[in-house]
């Protein structure tokens, strides 16, 4: 059974951060289960996408087809209609179609832990280099859209649960593509005493991280390991583990738990989201902060803490 | 005196065209040797053979009395030759010194030794009186200085025999005089100079010896002191074919073209036509004589609207067309047989029919509405080909497959069939064989008899004597004088072409 | 006959050399050339749907190629077709979204506006070429980058559909260019392209202005001497070329994508220019060249899935074709000019 499983992945981002982690998950599944893996790079021509989906799906050769990238949504939806027996797995989002498998990350859970960590650190105040009075922490979102609100919700509730006195100061850049704007907003947040800023803003967020180095303050990365963007200033990264999502879906399939259309959530419990404390700064994190963060994380996993809508 | 260069029986052919036909040339060491001739006389070809850029089809080359094979320019340089081309080959973004040593950089361990190059350039510049700043960037310098750099390049490569191809073509008179001084300096230091020109005053001013080429053959080599400009003109222009003067009725028509104090500049922005005035009447052929390059081509271009006049006017039937477009001038009744036939006169890639169509692509019956009626175009073209004796397979034959004479007949067929009152005919028989020349002359006379006003520009005196009612002689952008066509002496014509004014009213311009 | 056949044979040899070199490259990367070429053929022509897919890719290359042909015929090089396509596509989408009109009319207005946008985009390079003789190759190439970035900026910051990817809202169905078959996105754009190729060919052959432009393209000095208004014709030829470039964008927008997005149609303008070069500026020949490049593109998509060869191999083969074709054209030009010069420059 196992050796017969064949999977394909379609994306234009295999060379970039999140895409690389998906490739890593596929390769691990190949090593562990002997599944056949095919990568299809979509390139950048919109005209090609439909044809590429057709080519992958036409013979029903692949058990699972992973799809990553919002520009492919149109072609994916059409292909899901045209090939109802083909299971497509859309990574990192949920669409309208009920014929598609969705690998969704519980960003609110990861952000809850992130908020707890940031507020606890801020509450330490000037006991830690570069921190001030610790009354509030910052958040820079890309655009004010539901998915980003979801991040913010977790972040706020985490902060509140860990250090009730610390407020959250949130701003939205209005764009995901403007690092300069991210940098500008971050500087403003630092000016108002928010010494740690969490970015959920794609390329705009690069500006957030760079501003933390320029201002000698702190920031938190998102999606992938961003510790190296501004070493010593990025305290942590909230990871969405594409590799774990891909690997665990393939594992289900290989072990006979057939993957079916619907939403698969990847949360703290499954390791799909997690907070990575950056190695460059981990020594300055007090033990009590570490244990408190870990305690809150376990509470979310156990269901003792529910993140509210 | 020994011989620096000796060429024996050099033959160079391009296809069926013979560019150099058994040319002998002896250049003595330590002299300035001018080579003169009209465009197309074979001067540059001969020098390219000497410098190894072209391989001769026959003959031998001796340098310093020893026969050598000049397989390529490198061999020529090794033998002590250097050539300064008409078009400079400098890199504008590099400095003077870098250009001088381009391709033979002075250096140590793979690095260019800029200091040594600059010092060397300075030494050459001082020794030979060629003032340059070795550190300046070439792109910022004037043409005259660029030429100095080209000469320095040649000197830096150790040349003792220096060839210059039309060195004054791009220079102002001031720069030319400086160049001549430099050349004098070279021979004073024992070097030999060969320079190509078609300006006779330069020959007289600077050379020790002069060789005249015409139509690929050497006419003669003489000590400059023993010849006059007039002699040189006779030798350059010569009389390759003798035409008899055509019989004609006296012309009686009114004025068609009227030119008043017309000026224009050449491509370099220097005055080419400097205040000419004349009329051409209906039923009259007015000839313009002159050594090529004295403003005739530019005059024709102004009259056809292809070059702006800088001053003065010209009128056709009283209408001022000085600033008019080529289209408007044509519409007013001007046909133009251009001097540079291959460049302007035809489109070689197109068929004869498509060439004949030019200028009438909007006119019925050639076009109906905005559609071209190719059936009519072909039919008319065939008729014209017959009338003008164009020898080709048919109206669809490509013009590039035609001989020079037939190509020219296509141009005449198109232009003479426009029913234009004024025909501007520039070098109608250049590069055309005798038979075709005869029929072209016949056609010009027929047009005259039909009452057209014709301005015939030619560098061939016999052609003018055969056809023109009056001959105007141009020299250096001016009309030096007018001679009646029926009693012209070649002597008088030659003097005017050499810039010697016979009348009392104007001083010679040299 | 041999005069018209000679360039064709030349191009065929150039393509053959490129394919031979491509074979070597394929072998070097450890793939079987036979498998690669067979897969390419299968991917391009293996079934009705695949042929439709190939024609779908061919359409924008063809229309862009015709745009380039028009400029080539006038002796000009519009290398900015890519930019005109982007501007035309974007303009058509704006009309498609915001200007509700009856079906059919809406589409026609969209196409027209696309052409105007392409024309507007080349107007500045065209003006400077006609008036000041500023090299149009450089100015049109540069205008490509501006067009791609500008449309992308507009899409993201002014017209982005709420949520989702960097794309505009969809156009109204009344502006759709109808599809030809139910099983493919192949649309009337192909018919427009084919008809246009024939029309342009006939135009240059049979109209006064077409004749004037052709002659201008072959010998500018002769045309000037013959009374053709050079500046005016240069300007008009470039505008016409730009309009057809815009049309290509309009077809892609109204016929295929029904919206504008990042990655709208990258590379089609450049492929069109190459196809036109390959066809020596002949619009009918461009049909064949465009089909060739369209087949390469569509075949390469299957290559990615069915073999271990990367699609980039096709990019390499295409680059090799461009190289050998341009080398071939350069050699021919050189032959011609020396023949011309020989008569007068001794």
Series of mean pLDDT values for 10-residue runs along chain A (309 residues) = 78 83 93 92 87 89 91 90 93 88 93 95 81 85 86 95 92 86 93 92 90 93 91 94 94 91 92 93 91 94 89
CB < 8 Å from C in window 107-136 of B: none
Structure tokens at A62: 């692949």
Query: If 0-12 CB within 10 Å is exposed, 13-18 middle and 19+ buried, where does residue B318 land?
Result: exposed
Task: Let me know the angle formed at the C-alpha of B89 by B88 and B90, rounded to the nearest 5 degrees.
Answer: 100
* Subunit contact C256:A47, Cβ cutoff 8 A: yes
Predicted pLDDT at B89: 82
Indicate yes or no: CB of C208 within 8 angstroms of CB of B346.
no
Q: Is C332 on the interface with B (CB under 8 A)?
A: no
Alpha carbon of A272: minimum distance to chain C alpha carbons (Å): 22
Question: Which domain does C281 fall in, by range?
Answer: 47-294
Residue B351, helix vs strand vs coil: strand
- Across the interface, of C209, C219, C224, the residue whose CB is closest to B370 is C209
* C233 domain residue, yes or no: yes
Q: Which residues of B389-425 are buried (b: 16+ CB within 10 A; e: fewer)?
A: bbebeebebbbbebebbbbbbbbbbbbbbbebbbbbb
421-450 in B: which are within 8 Å (CB) of C? 431
Closest Cβ–Cβ partner in C207, C215, C227 for B327 = C227
Domains and CATH numbers, chain B: 3-237 (3.40.50.300), 255-355+414-497 (3.40.50.300)
Q: How confident is the model at residue B510 (pLDDT cuts 50, 70, 90)?
A: very low
Query: d(Cα C151, Cα C169) in Å, to the nearest integer?
Result: 14
Contacts of A48 in chain C (CB under 8 A): 297, 301
Q: What is the mean pLDDT of chain C?
A: 88
pLDDT at C158 over 90: no
Q: In B258-270, which positions are buried (b, 16+ CB within 10 angstroms) versus exposed (e)?
A: bbbebbbbbeeee
Residue with tokens 């083909």: A86
The confidence band for C343, taking pLDDT boundaries of 50, 70 and 90, is very low
CATH topology of domain A107-239+279-302: Rossmann fold (3.40.50)
Which residues fall within 8 angstroms of residue C136, CB to CB, at 6 or more apart? C71, C76, C77, C78, C125, C126, C128, C129, C238
pLDDT, residue A143, reads 83
Nearest to C263 among A46, A56, A177 (CB): A46
C321 pLDDT more than 70:
yes
Share of residues in chain B with pLDDT > 70 (%): 95
Among the listed residues A58, A7, A80, the one whose alpha carbon sits nearest the alpha carbon of residue A254? A7
- Terminus-to-terminus CA distance in chain A, angstroms? 42
Residue B313 banded pLDDT, cuts 50, 70, 90: very high
Q: Do A45 and C267 touch (CB under 8 A)?
A: yes
**How far apart are the CA of C43 and the nearest CA of chain A, in angstroms?**
9
The residue among B77 and B143 whose pLDDT is bigger is B77
Distance from CA of C221 to the nearest CA of B (A): 5
Select from C212, C225, C346 the Cβ nearest to the Cβ of B44. Answer: C346
- d(CA C57, nearest CA chain A) in Å: 8
List the subunits that have 3+ CB pairs under 8 angstroms with A: C
pLDDT at residue B50 tops 90 = yes
Asked if residue C150 is part of any domain, the answer here is: yes
- Classify C255 in phi/psi space as left (phi over 0), alpha (psi -120 to 50) or beta: alpha
Q: What is the 3-state secondary structure (H, E, C) of B128-158?
A: CCCCCCCCCEHHHCCHHHHHHHHHHHHHHCC
**Average pLDDT for residues C146-173, to the nearest whole number?**
86
Question: How far away is chain C from the Cα of B325, in angstroms, using its nearest Cα?
Answer: 8
* Beta carbons of B327 and B306 less than 8 angstroms apart: no
Chain C contact present for B373, CB below 8 A: no
Number of domains in chain C: 1
Residue B62's H or E segment, with its range, is: strand B58-63
Residue C285 lies inside a defined structural domain of this protein? yes
**Interface test mutation site (partner A, options C304, C309, C314, max chain A beta carbons within 10 A):** C304
Distance CA A117, CA C236 (A): 67
Of B223-227, B264-268, C176-180, which range is least confident? B264-268
Task: Give how far Cα B362 sits from Cα of B372, C206, C215, Å.
Answer: 8, 12, 14
Q: Tell me the C-alpha to C-alpha distance, in Å, between residue B199 and each of A129, A209, B266, B270, B295.
A: 88, 76, 16, 16, 13
Q: Is residue C38 part of a domain?
A: no
> Which chains lie within 8 Å of chain C at 3 or more CB pairs, if any?
A, B
Instruction: Determine the pLDDT at residue B252.
Output: 77
> Which residue of chain C comes nearest to B335, CA vs CA?
C226
Q: What is the pLDDT of residues B426-438, one digit of tens each?
A: 989 876 776 778 8
Query: Does residue C345 surpass a pLDDT of 70?
Result: no
Contact criterion met (CB below 8 Å) for C31 and C307: yes
DSSP one-letter string for B42-58: SHHHHHHHHTTSS--SE
Q: What is the pLDDT of residue B508?
A: 38
Beta-carbon separation of B370 and C228 below 8 A: no
CB C74 within 8 A of CB C215: no
Mean pLDDT of C227-246: 96
Residue C62 has pLDDT above 60, yes or no: yes
Cβ-based contacts of C226 with chain B (< 8 Å): 326, 330, 358-359
A interface with C, Cβ–Cβ below 8 Å: 8, 38, 40-41, 43-48, 50-52, 54-56, 70-71, 73, 145, 175, 177
DSSP assigned state of B242: P
Q: Could you say which residues from 167 to 196 on chain C have a Cβ atom under 8 Å away from some Cβ of chain B? A: none
Write out the E strands in chain A.
6-11, 36-41, 64-68, 87-91, 101-105, 136-141, 167-172, 194-200, 218-223, 234-240, 262-266, 273-277
In the predicted structure, residue C19 carries a pLDDT above the cut 90 = no
Residue A290: predicted pLDDT? 93
Nearest to C215 among B358, B362, B404 (CB): B358
Q: What is the domain class of A2-105+242-266 according to CATH? A: alpha beta
CB of B175 closer than 8 Å to CB of B144: yes
Delimiting residues of CATH 3.40.50.2300 domain(s) in chain A:
2-105+242-266, 107-239+279-302
When CB atoms are compared, the residue of B40, B304, B400 closest to C344 is B40
Chains B and A touch (3+ CB pairs under 8 A): no
């Amino acid at each position: 059974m196992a050796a017969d499983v064949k999977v394909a992945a379609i994306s234009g981002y295999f060379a970039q951060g999140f895409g690389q982690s998906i490739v890593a998950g596929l390769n691990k599944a190949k090593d562990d289960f002997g599944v056949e893996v095919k990568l299809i790079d979509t390139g950048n021509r919109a005209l090609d996408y439909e044809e590429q989906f057709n080519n992958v799906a036409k013979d029903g050769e692949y058990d699972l087809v992973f799809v990553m990238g919002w520009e492919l949504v149109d072609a994916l939806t059409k292909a899901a209609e045209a090939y109802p027996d083909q299971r497509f797995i859309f990574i990192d989002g949920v669409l309208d179609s009920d014929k598609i498998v969705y690998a969704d990350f519980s960003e609110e859970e990861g952000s809850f832990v992130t908020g707890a960590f940031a507020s606890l650190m801020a509450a330490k105040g000037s006991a830690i280099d570069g921190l001030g009075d610790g009354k509030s922490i910052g958040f820079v979102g890309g655009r004010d859209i539901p998915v980003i609100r979801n991040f913010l919700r977790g972040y706020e509730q985490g902060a509140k649960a860990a250090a009730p006195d610390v407020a959250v100061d949130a701003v939205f850049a209005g764009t995901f593509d403007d690092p300069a704007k991210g940098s500008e907003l971050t500087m403003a947040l630092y000016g108002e005493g928010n010494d740690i800023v969490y970015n959920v803003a794609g390329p705009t967020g690069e500006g957030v991280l760079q501003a933390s180095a320029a201002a000698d303050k702190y920031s938190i990365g998102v999606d992938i390991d961003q510790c190296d963007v501004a070493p010593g200033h990025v305290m942590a990264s909230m990871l969405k583990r594409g590799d774990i999502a891909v690997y665990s879906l393939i594992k289900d399939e290989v072990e006979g738990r057939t993957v079916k259309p619907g939403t698969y959530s990847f949360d703290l419990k499954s390791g799909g989201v997690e907070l990575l404390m950056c190695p460059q700064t981990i020594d300055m994190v007090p033990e009590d902060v570490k244990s408190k963060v870990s305690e809150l994380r376990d509470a979310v996993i156990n269901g003792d803490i529910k993140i509210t809508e | 005196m020994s011989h620096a260069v000796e060429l024996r029986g050099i033959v160079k052919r391009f296809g069926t065209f013979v560019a150099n036909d058994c040319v002998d040339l002896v250049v003595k060491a330590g002299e300035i040797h001018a080579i003169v001739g009209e465009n197309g006389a074979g001067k540059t070809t001969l020098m390219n053979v000497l410098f190894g850029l072209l391989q001769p089809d026959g003959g031998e080359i001796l340098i310093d009395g020893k026969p050598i094979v000049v397989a390529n320019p490198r061999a020529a340089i090794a033998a002590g030759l250097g050539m300064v081309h008409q078009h400079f080959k400098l890199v504008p973004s590099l400095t003077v010194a870098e250009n001088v040593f381009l391709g033979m950089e002075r250096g140590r361990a793979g690095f260019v030794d800029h200091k040594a190059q600059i010092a060397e350039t300075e030494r050459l510049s001082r020794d030979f009186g060629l003032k340059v700043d070795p550190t300046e960037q070439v792109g910022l310098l004037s043409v005259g200085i660029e030429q100095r750099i080209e000469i320095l390049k040649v000197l830096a490569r150790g040349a003792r025999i220096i060839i210059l191809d039309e060195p004054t073509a791009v220079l102002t008179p001031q720069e030319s005089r400086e160049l001549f001084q430099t050349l004098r300096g070279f021979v004073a230091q024992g070097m030999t100079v060969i320079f190509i020109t078609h300006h006779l005053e330069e020959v007289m001013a600077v050379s020790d010896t002069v060789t005249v080429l015409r139509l690929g053959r050497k006419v003669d080599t003489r000590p400059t002191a023993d010849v006059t400009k007039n002699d040189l003109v006779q030798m350059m222009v010569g009389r390759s074919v003798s035409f008899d003067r055509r019989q004609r009725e006296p012309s009686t028509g009114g004025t068609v073209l009227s030119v008043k104090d017309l000026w224009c500049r050449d491509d370099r922005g220097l005055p080419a036509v400097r205040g000419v005035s004349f009329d051409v009447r209906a039923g009259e052929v007015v000839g313009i004589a002159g050594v090529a390059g004295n403003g005739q081509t530019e005059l024709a271009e102004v009259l056809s609207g292809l070059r702006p006049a800088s001053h003065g006017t010209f009128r056709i039937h009283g209408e001022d067309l000085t600033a008019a477009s080529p289209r408007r001038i044509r519409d007013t009744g001007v046909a133009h047989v251009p001097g540079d036939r291959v460049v302007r006169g035809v489109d070689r890639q197109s068929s004869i029919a498509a060439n004949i169509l030019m200028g009438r692509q909007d006119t019925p019956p050639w076009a109906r509405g905005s559609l071209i009626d190719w059936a009519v175009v072909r039919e008319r073209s065939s008729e014209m080909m017959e009338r003008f004796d164009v020898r080709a397979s048919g109206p669809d034959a490509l013009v590039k497959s035609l001989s020079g004479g037939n190509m020219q007949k296509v141009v005449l067929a198109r232009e003479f069939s426009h029913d234009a009152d004024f025909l501007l005919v520039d070098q109608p028989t250049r590069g055309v064989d005798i038979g075709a020349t005869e029929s072209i002359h016949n056609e010009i006379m027929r047009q005259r008899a039909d009452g057209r006003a014709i301005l015939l520009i030619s560098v061939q005196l016999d052609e003018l004597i055969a056809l023109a009612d009056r001959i105007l002689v141009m020299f250096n952008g001016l009309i030096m004088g007018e001679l009646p066509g029926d009693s012209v002496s070649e002597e008088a014509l030659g003097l005017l072409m050499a810039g010697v004014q016979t009348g009392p009213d104007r001083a010679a311009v040299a | 006959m041999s005069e018209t056949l000679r360039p064709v044979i030349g191009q065929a040899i150039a393509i053959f050399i490129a394919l031979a070199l491509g074979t070597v490259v394929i072998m070097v990367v450890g793939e079987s050339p036979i498998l690669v070429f067979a897969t390419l053929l299968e991917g391009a022509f293996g079934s009705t749907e695949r042929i439709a897919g190939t024609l779908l890719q061919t359409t924008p290359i063809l229309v862009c190629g015709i745009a380039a042909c028009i400029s080539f015929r006038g002796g000009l090089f519009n290398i900015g077709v890519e930019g005109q396509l982007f501007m035309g596509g974007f303009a058509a989408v704006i009309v498609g979204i915001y200007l509700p009109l009856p079906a059919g009319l809406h589409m026609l207005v969209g196409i027209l506006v696309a052409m105007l946008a392409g024309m507007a985009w080349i107007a500045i390079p065209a003006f400077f070429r006609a008036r000041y003789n500023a090299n149009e190759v450089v100015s049109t190439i540069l205008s490509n980058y501006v067009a791609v970035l500008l449309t992308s900026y507009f899409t993201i910051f002014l017209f982005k559909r709420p949520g989702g990817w960097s794309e505009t809202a969809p156009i109204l169905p009344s502006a759709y260019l109808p599809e030809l078959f139910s099983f493919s996105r192949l649309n009337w754009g192909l018919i427009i392209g084919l008809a246009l190729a024939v029309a342009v060919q006939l135009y240059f052959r049979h109209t006064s202005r077409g004749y004037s432009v052709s002659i201008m393209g072959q010998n500018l000095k002769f045309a000037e001497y013959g009374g053709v208004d050079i500046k005016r014709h240069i300007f008009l030829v470039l505008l016409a070329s730009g309009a057809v470039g815009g049309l290509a964008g309009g077809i892609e927008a109204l016929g295929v994508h029904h919206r504008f997005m990042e990655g709208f149609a990258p590379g089609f303008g450049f492929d069109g220019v190459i196809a036109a070069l390959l066809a020596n500026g002949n619009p009918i020949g461009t049909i064949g060249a465009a089909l060739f490049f369209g087949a390469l593109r569509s075949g390469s998509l299957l290559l990615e899935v069915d073999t271990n060869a990367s699609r980039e191999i096709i990019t390499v083969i295409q680059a090799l074709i461009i190289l050998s074709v341009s080398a071939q054209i350069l050699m021919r030009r050189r032959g011609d000019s020396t023949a011309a010069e020989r008569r007068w420059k001794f």
